[in-house]
Amino acid sequence: MTTEQQNKSKTLIRERSAKRRSLYKSIDRVMQFIFRLCGLIAALMIILIVFFVAARGIQVFLPGYENPVSLGEFLTGMRWRSDQGVYGVLFIVINTIVTAFFAGLIAFPLSVLSALMIVKIAPKRLSNALTTVVELLAAIPSVVYGVFASGAITGIVEKIAGWFNYTTFGGNSMLAVILLLAIMIYPTITSMAVVAIRAVPESHELGSLALGASRTQTNFKVVLSSAKSGIFAGLILGLGRAFGEATAVSMVAGNAFIGPTWNPFDLTRTLTTTMLSGLHETVGVDYDVRFSVGIVLMIIILVSNLAINALRKKMESGD
């Protein structure tokens, strides 16, 4: 091969690679555009939903609306009687927070410990089996949980109420809702916690063990505290599910008209069941006020997320 030929082929290759580079660049640009579009659509959806719900929900308080609801009475009311035009959301807010809080209280430690078990303690085969179980639990549709709750949990609750000499509405009660929600959010928190604990670098653990800490000490002090951020993300998702679950909860809540409910064997009413109940067969204020309840629900979820995040930051800075 002469040097001329070599030079020619070199320039050819150079030209080709330059062409290729420009092609790649244009592909990059197209992809960038597509990604941007996806981001934009996601952002637009949120804006659209919030805007639509807010517009629909706020109008019932405006003076131009036919039979307007007083905002003060709505926010401080302890009765929800749509048949009488009385819409008070405060007791529902309290009920919702109480049920979600207690469900979280039951499910959170269980979830974290079982995640630890799955990742660190169980032998591989058992841990795989347990992972499958948790995944299956997460995949069960909420209406199936609802059927299970109204068939099984209510019976248990009725029995427990019998020991304390309380009569329940066939087991429909706040306790039933709490137990149901605890079961429902357990797989959500667990699977997030599993991912978080898996992500803890092994070197941390080995370091702790090398310094003479026992396995249990390592698991609790090193692994869990390193995975804290992911575990709290799981808690946020779990509580979000507890706040937002409607179908299953409405099957055992009983939709009390007054509140707040403090006796665990009494009927309760959550924001979601209020929005869901009879949605298809209603018009006017009773329909539009559900959007106002939706706004309240969104605010509560936002505030609880912020609170959990603040708690996490405090714990992190405290260490």
Partner 1 sequence: MKNLKKILVLVLALVMMISVVTACGGDKKAEKETEKATEKETEKATEKETEKATEKETEKATEKETEKATEKETEKATEKETEAAPAGEMTGQINVYTRDAASGTREGFEKVVGFEDQLTDKANEVASNGEMATQVGSDVQGIGYVSLTTDFAANNLHPANYEGVEPSIETVIDGSYLLSRPFCYTTRASGDYESDEKEQLVKAFIAFMTESTEGKEAVLSAGGIVDVDDSTPWEELKADHPIVDQDNSTITIKTGGSTSVEKTLTAALEAFQPLAGNFEKVVEQTGSSDGWKRTLGGDKDGPNRADIGFASRNFKDEEPTEDAISAAKYCDDAIVVVIEKNNPLTNFTQQNLFDIFTGAVTNWEDIAK
Provide, rounded to whole angstroms, the least separation between the CB of residue 115 and partner 1.
19
Hunting for tokens 């009773």 — which residue is that? 286
Which positions ≥6 away from 29 have C-beta within 8 Å?
none
C-beta closer to partner 1: residue 79 or 120: 79
Judged by CB under 8 A, the residue of 92, 115, 251, 289 near partner 1 is 251
Query: Do 189 and 243 touch, CB atoms closer than 8 A?
Result: no
Judged by CB under 8 A, the residue of 95, 96, 99, 150 near partner 1 is 150
Kindly state whether residue 267 participates in binding partner 1, applying the rule CB under 8 A. yes
Q: What is the DSSP string of 224-256?
A: HHHTHHHHHHHHHHHHHHHHH--HHHHHHHB--
Subset of residues 170 to 209 that bind partner 1, contact rule: CB under 8 A: 170-172
Provide, rounded to whole angstroms, the least separation between the CB of residue 83 and partner 1.
5
Kindly state whether residue 257 participates in binding partner 1, applying the rule CB under 8 A. yes
C-beta closer to partner 1: residue 2 or 165: 165
Which positions ≥6 away from 143 have C-beta within 8 Å?
247, 248
Provide, rounded to whole angstroms, the least separation between the CB of residue 136 and partner 1.
8
Burial of residue 108 (CB within 10 Å: 0-12, 13-18, 19+) is: buried
Name the maximum alpha-carbon separation found in the chain: 104
Tell me which stretch binds partner 1 (CB under 8 A): 18-26, 211-219, 248-256, 311-319.
248-256
For the chain, the straight-line distance linking the first and the last C-alpha, in angstroms and rounded, comes to 70
Q: Which residues bind partner 1 (CB under 8 A)?
A: 79, 81-84, 125, 128-129, 132-133, 150, 154, 167, 169-172, 250-251, 254-258, 267, 269, 276-283, 286
